[in-house]
Structure 1
């Protein structure tokens, strides 16, 4: 797994909104299904919401490796609940994420 994508997954599971935000470029974009967060302030705020960070993420498969990023198939599990699958698609440039697109099944 790309080290940047791994850092994001690790920070997510640690529920560390600051570390999650630092993975992104200053003008990074996070698309979380039907929500869009732009820039560090919005991303940090969005990732700090309990309905976002109240879940753990397990990587099931590295779906695609590209020169500019990586797509992961993950299982998202709410604390004490049934999980569901999603794709986390990261664009990676110079060790940071300018765009991440999360789509849920």
Structure 2
């Protein structure tokens, strides 16, 4: 099933598939906020640390299979697979976009 994602989200997903940290960070605003199951990360430096410590080592790749809009958010769902316990796991990403960039994302599993 093919889905169409807004450009900054599509860019993030494509970079994640390559496990490219710089590419994953590029679509985010400088002051972006990422919340991962209640843990909050703010700004490019904290996002980079999260990606380098929690995504890259376990080769976690998110593959969206559903997208919808809810108010001012773009909700993207799908499995993530990698070298971690329980793989694949299903996640929901709630993106808030601003000026063709990701301002915030809330990730729940």
* Interval of TM-score (by shorter of Structure 1 and Structure 2): 0.7 to 0.9
Q: Distance in 1 between matches of 2:61 and 2:30?
A: 25
Query: Which blocks of at least 5 consecutive residues in structure 1 are unaligned?
Result: none
**Counterpart contact for 1:56–1:79, Cα < 8 Å:** no
Pair 1:102 & 2:98 matched: no
Bigger mean CA deviation after superposition, 15-24 or 76-85: 76-85
| Corresponding residue of 1:44 | 48
Query: Which blocks of at least 5 consecutive residues in structure 2 are unaligned?
Result: none
Runs of 4 or more consecutive aligned structure 1 residues displaced over 4 Å after TM superposition: none
| Corresponding residue of 2:23 | 19
Structure number having the greater strand percentage = 1
RMSD: 1.8
| TM-score, normalised relative to structure 1 | 0.86
| TM-score, normalised relative to structure 2 | 0.83
